[in-house]
Every structure is written in C-alpha cells, then in structure tokens.
Structure 1
Amino acid sequence: MTITFPALDEAEGKLNHVRKSLADVFAEAGETLDMDKVKSIEGDSAAKVEWIRAKNAEIDELAVKVEGLREVGKAAQKAREGEKGDRPAEPGDERGQRDAGTKSIGELFTASQAYKGRQGSSGPEAHLDVEVKTLFQTTAGWLPETTRTGRVVPFATRPIQVIDLIPGNTTGQAAVVYMEETTFTNAAAETAEGGTYQEAALALTEQTSPVRKIAVWLPVTDEQLEDEPQARGYINNRLPFMLRQRLDGQILTGNGTAPNLRGILNTVGIQTQAKGTDPTPDAVYKAMVKGRVVGRAMPDAVVFHPTNWQDVRLLRTADGIYIWGSPSEAGPARIWGLPVAESDAITLGTALVGDFGNFSELTTRRGVDVQVTNSHGTFFIEGKQAIRADMRVALVIYRPAAFITVTGL
C-alpha cells in the first residue's frame, strides 16, 4: 500500500509537474529532437539542452526526495501498527536469524559434520540455510599448490541485476495465496432527501503463486576440499551465484510452466506502450502515465537492456549536442527520475516500467540449501564429493497493471 502524507503529496505533485514540462519540450522537439522547433524555451540549441539537463537534474533530486519520504511514511505506519516490533523473534523468523549473525555458506560448510566427517563409506549431509538475497562475488577452481598472485579473474557472465528491485518476504507454505479485489463498482452518488441509495458491488478472488525450486550441483575432488580457505571461498561464491543468476532471469522472462516461475513479462494483465515514432524518453513517460492512470501505481524503476539504454545515453539534438550529458560525464542512471536497472536478461528492444516496491514480492520458502556427500555413483572410490545447492521461491505480482512494457525500442 502506498503511504501518503502532506509532504509526500506535495513532493510527488511537484515531481509530476516538472516531468510534464520536460515531456512537453520533447514533444515539441519531435522524433529528431530538433531544438529549433522548441518555442517554449528561449535561446539557441545549447541553451535549450542546458535547460533540459537542469530539468533532468531537478527531476532526479525530487525523485530521491520522494523515495525518502515514502520510506519515512512506511516506517511511520509500521511503527503505528506495531509490525513485528512488539514481539520477540520466533523460530524461523528471518529477523531473528539476522540478529543472531549471518554466517557465510563456506563457514557453515567447513564447520559442518559433512566437511569434518567426510571420511568413510558414505559422507554425511549438511543442510545450510542462507538468505537468497545475500550478495556473492565470483571465483574459480585451484590447481595443486603453486605460487600465485592471489588474484582470481571471474568468468565473464551476466551479473545479478533485477533481484534487488523486488521486495523480499518469507513463507512456510508451498504457495503464496492472497485475495485480489476483482470487482469494484462505486455507485456513490448525490441523493435527495428520501431518495434511494445506489447499490455498490465488491468481489474478491483468491490468487495463488506457487513456490518453485531452482537447483544445481557440482563435483569436487577431496584434494580441493582439503585446502580449507579455498574450499570456503569456492562454496561461498559459485553455486549460490548460479542460483541467483537463474532466479534473476526468471523474474523477468520465466514462462510460468512448472517448474518455471512466471516472470513479469509473461504475467497476464501487464500493460504495453509501443514506442512507435516517439523518442524513447517519450515512450517511457507514456508508460509511466499508464502505470499511474490505469494501474493506479507509482512506477519506481525501469529495466533496460544495456544496448537499448546505450541508445538513450547517446541521444543527441539535431545539431549534435548530447541530451544525457557529454561523453566526459558519467551521466544520470535515471530517466524521468526513475532509477534504471540494466539487464541483458530482458528481451532486446523491450523495457519494463513498474511499481516494483508496492506490487511485486519475492517470497522465499527456503533460502540457499547446500548438501554434500561422496555417495553419488562411484564418487567414494574416485575421491570426489557431490555438492548440490537449491532454493525454493515464489514470485508474486500483486497488480499486473502496475507494470508496463515499452516495445519497439
């Protein structure tokens, strides 16, 4: 639920006003961004571009202010409702687990009976529960000991780019079940004395988002595991990263057919805004307006494919002036005040505008669970260990209309 109070309403109103004024200028300039067509701003092209940059900076500043006020409002509401604040942590409570101090997977693994007691015909198993959204770096394997520099060059692979846009929660069930208001007929009307009241209608529909498992395993030799610091780093990094990378892509493009999650782009009810002949910023702004007017939401982020964001970053006026800042500047990673997440998991030519904070949720049934044994196949006589990792999560899109794809980029 979006939290509102006077200061937030005022800041959001000012932000939307500045966004509208900048959108009007882009509309005047047309698809070719010809500054000579812009009559609402005085001066030459350079002066008009400086005005646009100033408005962009003002939008970014106001957007950050609005984000901060929203967090303050949410914190105030939680304080009023006493949300989890008046009770001690219960078993399985994620808060209690964090307060107790989070150990890394490698530390848990090397301290476990599975690692210490792996001698014998069948090594024991260890179940290590770790939160899904912990940040991991990457590493690789080690050859027999030799003099090395200590530097490990990670394999070139897609980073985690979308997970942190989605709020997290936990569940003890096999699915997340919730009620959606699917009928809202507001018949409220002015009524004369003694007149008949108009009948309204409300209806709720039960919705379900199933928990899905993402899993991977890796064979490792006893020799690698005997070097404890390297084994710790190895387990810490690669397997959890593989799981989270797969989850990152499923959030966007999962097809929903078991055992896949249903990603946002394949969720029934999301909206679409075609770019057509509009400049990309105009199309994104129109998508934001659809999110507010049809979805009754406040978009808080945009996901671009890096190649499509490149086109935005390189936008120039008809006489060659860069809109998003000169090549000597980093340039803002925002558009219309919304933070931009670059992900090559999204379909090239498509961007996603959405209210991720209020109408999506990544619910964890079980975090990253690691098990190890030498009882797989002939691993015992080959001196190998089988290490497997998995997690169980559900992706919930509470209001599909709060998400809008921008196509044809």
Structure 2
Amino acid sequence: MNQVKNFGEDIAKKMQAGGQVTEELKQKADAGLTQMNELKGLFDELKERQTELEQKSTRRGQEEPTEFKSAGQLIITDEAMKGFNSSSRNSVRVQMDRKALMNVPATVGAGVSSGNSLVPADRRPGIITPPEHRLSMRDLLAPGQTGANSVEYAQETGFTNNAATVAEGAAKPYSSITFNLKTANIRTIAHLFKASRQLLDDAPALQSYIDARARYGLRLVEDRQFLMGDGTGQNLLGIMPQAIEFVAPIVIANATAIDRMRLALLQAVLAEFPSSGFVLNPIDWVGIELTKDNEGRYIIAQPVNGIGPRLWGLPVAETIAMPQNNFLAGAFDLGAQIFDRMDVEVLISTENDKDFENNLVSIRAEQRTGLAVYRPEAFVTGLVTPA
C-alpha cells in the first residue's frame, strides 16, 4: 500500500508540474496495484481462517480437568507418610477429606458410581465435539438492525422505459414504474437445554461448551432459513424461493457445470445486479474443483497453493443447507439484507418449580431476526448439472 501510495504521489507531482509520466513509472504502479490485490486476497483468507480457529478454541473450553487420585494414592502422598517404611514400628494416622475419598467427578463415564473411588475412570481432557458445517449466509448478506417486529420496503415490480429523442415542441413520452409494498417479518429462533446444577458448578468448561453449542444451533437454523425458508407459519421467506430460475442467455454446446455458473453470472448482469458470490453444496463444489482437461490437469483447483474456494473470480460459499445439485448466484451484498431485532441471547435459570426441586437449570438460547429480499432478479438459481 505504501508503494502504491508513493507511485501515486510521484505521478500527481509530475502531472501538476506539466511533466510526462514515464512508461517505467506506469508499469511500476501497475505492478504495485497487482501485488496489493494479491496480498489482499491472501489477507482475506488468513482472516477467515483466524475466525474459524477462534471459534474452535472457544468451543473447546479453557480448563484442564484436575487429576483424580484413588484412595491408595491419597494415602501414599499424604504428608504423614513421609519417612514411613517397612522397618518403621510406630503407627501413622492419615486424615483425608471424605469428599476427596468418596466422590468421583460427575463427568466420568457411565458405569462408574459416585462412590466407586477405587476404580476411577480414565478421563480424557476436553470434550469430543460433533462435526459442524461451515456457516455462510450471514457472512454473504448485508447486515442490518431494526427495533420493530417487521420491516416494510417498496419493491420495484415493473419498469417500462419509453425514453426517446424528442423534437422541439413535441410531447414527451411517459415511462412507468410500478412498486409493491413488501413486509419482512421478524421471527424468533430458539431452543432449550436441561442440565444439573452440580454439573455446571463442577465443570465451568462444560457450561462454556453448552453456551457455544446453543449459539451454533441457532446459527445453523438461521443459515437454512435465510437460504430455503418458505415463508409459511413462523418461517422466514428465504432467497431460494424468490430467486429467478436459471435460463441460459446464450446457448453453449456441451455446457459444463463451470459454463452454467458463468451463464448464471451473465443472467444476473443482464438484470443489472452483478453477482458477488455463489452458494453450492459441498459435494457439487468438489465435483467442480476436480474437473480436469484432456491431459489430466485441474481446471479450477490448485491443490498445492489454493487460496480458498473461488469461481470466475467470485467467492464460493459451501453449505449443506443447499440441496445437492442446486446452486445460487447473486448480488448478496445488494439484493438482500438481514435485520436483527435481537442478537443471540443465552440465559440460565432455575425459576421453573421442577428445576428448583430437582436441582436442575434450564438453558435457553434465542434470537430474533428477519430477511428482506429487495430485488429477486439479483439472484439466479438452477441445477448444477441438468437432468
């Protein structure tokens, strides 16, 4: 950036002084711009990976479990046992905490009772987490906030352009624009968990893990709602049901999946909303990445030094929320917007009577959000490989 800035200042000074910009300086400026753009792409990838690592570290929890000692170990390591051996003739009294002797941590495996301290479980550190799919829709769409339970917006539904050259004194032609008032309702996404109070008190890392999983569950449903919600009941109206069907603007013989993606971009451009990315099922994206030419060379993939999924210069979001053999291309940053009424909230309570009696806690996670699709023509959907 500093190099590009210096080149720009040199060019500006020479132009102000009436001088000529040399071809060498112009080439250096162009080379600097190219390098800066390449580094920006690399920086974006590193930033994405850093976010992913931060999310994983949050889920793992920060506490290492304390080592559990059997009764024999407690006796042997007691202060009073120091210097005591087989030749000793005196008696030694060892005092131990009953809790330390009798209680096994509440998180040990099944089959070990709380009093079976002589056969403790071999507790592995950390929590074995189930797989998570990579969320994407919120990263693609424009963010927004609202303080109401619905968002109204005017959507253009028709435009007849009759603009023309007009002779002096002649009547000017009328054009027409029609609008339709749309409403994006704010919906609540929520779920509950039950846990014992002792479990959360004795394992703070587990509470942190439950909190992270609760948030993930909401984001998972949100991702599918933004993409596939049908607008019925309490569902959001997602992008896919409103997107226009893919119709190739030009005919390409033996069109491949890669060709169809490019034709979808053309269709969006003709709707005057150039696309900013693709959404694909991971299986379909792998099929595209592994496409080879007649000599066995990869067309898209760069197995050694790839910098992230991209196709025709645009990012590709992989999500299992997208049905297989379907794609979505569109201007995500301009054609639609998220409206958050309430961000993700996780609450822990014992106010329920049964919870109080049974020493349980209720964990509730919820959020309120909506989606406004301003221009459906900005999104194109179709089959990756036609039937």
TM-score norm. by structure 2 comes to 0.65
**Secondary structure at the counterpart of residue 344 of structure 2:** strand
The one of 334, 347, 359 aligned to 1:383 = 359
Alpha carbons of 1:139 and 1:256: their partners in 2 closer, same or farther (altered >3 Å)?
farther
In structure 2, C-alpha distance between the alignment counterparts of 1:328 and 1:199, rounded to whole Å: 59
Return the offset for 1:139: 5.0
Pairwise mapping of residues 37-116 of structure 1 onto structure 2 (< 5 A)? none
Pairwise mapping of residues 319-330 of structure 1 onto structure 2 (< 5 A)? 319-325=295-301, 327-330=303-306
Return the offset for 1:188: 1.8
Kindly indicate whether residue 59 of structure 2 is the aligned counterpart of residue 138 of structure 1: yes
The one of 194, 201, 206 aligned to 2:181 = 206
Kindly indicate whether residue 318 of structure 2 is the aligned counterpart of residue 342 of structure 1: yes
Return the offset for 1:228: 6.7
Kindly indicate whether residue 131 of structure 2 is the aligned counterpart of residue 156 of structure 1: yes
**Secondary structure at the counterpart of residue 220 of structure 1:** strand
**Secondary structure at the counterpart of residue 153 of structure 2:** strand
**Secondary structure at the counterpart of residue 298 of structure 2:** coil
**Secondary structure at the counterpart of residue 378 of structure 1:** helix
The one of 156, 160, 166 aligned to 1:191 = 166
* Correspondence for 2:334: 358
* Correspondence for 1:37: none
**Secondary structure at the counterpart of residue 179 of structure 2:** strand
Conserved? CA contact 1:363–1:396, under 8 Å: yes
Conserved? CA contact 1:283–1:406, under 8 Å: no
Alpha carbons of 1:393 and 1:309: their partners in 2 closer, same or farther (altered >3 Å)?
same
Alpha carbons of 1:381 and 1:255: their partners in 2 closer, same or farther (altered >3 Å)?
same
Alpha carbons of 1:408 and 1:309: their partners in 2 closer, same or farther (altered >3 Å)?
closer
The one of 170, 173, 179 aligned to 2:154 = 179
In structure 2, C-alpha distance between the alignment counterparts of 1:348 and 1:219, rounded to whole Å: 35
In structure 2, C-alpha distance between the alignment counterparts of 1:385 and 1:230, rounded to whole Å: 16
Q: Which runs of 5+ in 1 are unaligned?
A: 1-57, 69-133
Return the offset for 1:192: 1.2
* Correspondence for 2:266: 289
TM-score norm. by structure 1 comes to 0.62
Conserved? CA contact 1:324–1:331, under 8 Å: no
Letter matched to residue 291 of structure 1: A
In structure 1, C-alpha distance between the alignment counterparts of 2:366 and 2:205, rounded to whole Å: 21
Of all paired residues, the percent bearing the same amino acid is 28
Kindly indicate whether residue 225 of structure 2 is the aligned counterpart of residue 270 of structure 1: no
Query: Which structure's relative contact order is higher, taking Cα pairs within 8 Å and 6+ residues apart?
Result: 1
Conserved? CA contact 1:160–1:245, under 8 Å: yes
**Secondary structure at the counterpart of residue 367 of structure 2:** strand
**Secondary structure at the counterpart of residue 180 of structure 1:** strand
Letter matched to residue 259 of structure 2: D
Cα RMSD (Å) of the superposition?
A: 3.0
Return the offset for 1:408: 4.2
**Secondary structure at the counterpart of residue 155 of structure 2:** strand
* Correspondence for 1:86: none
Return the offset for 1:388: 0.9
**Secondary structure at the counterpart of residue 375 of structure 1:** coil
Letter matched to residue 262 of structure 2: Y
Alpha carbons of 1:276 and 1:362: their partners in 2 closer, same or farther (altered >3 Å)?
farther
Pairwise mapping of residues 214-229 of structure 1 onto structure 2 (< 5 A)? 214-227=189-202, 229=204
Return the offset for 1:232: 4.8
In structure 2, C-alpha distance between the alignment counterparts of 1:169 and 1:254, rounded to whole Å: 19
Alpha carbons of 1:361 and 1:203: their partners in 2 closer, same or farther (altered >3 Å)?
same
Q: Which runs of 5+ in 2 are unaligned?
A: 1-33, 45-53, 66-104, 109-121
**Secondary structure at the counterpart of residue 234 of structure 1:** helix
**Secondary structure at the counterpart of residue 195 of structure 2:** strand
* Correspondence for 1:247: 222
Alpha carbons of 1:400 and 1:236: their partners in 2 closer, same or farther (altered >3 Å)?
same
In structure 2, C-alpha distance between the alignment counterparts of 1:326 and 1:339, rounded to whole Å: 15
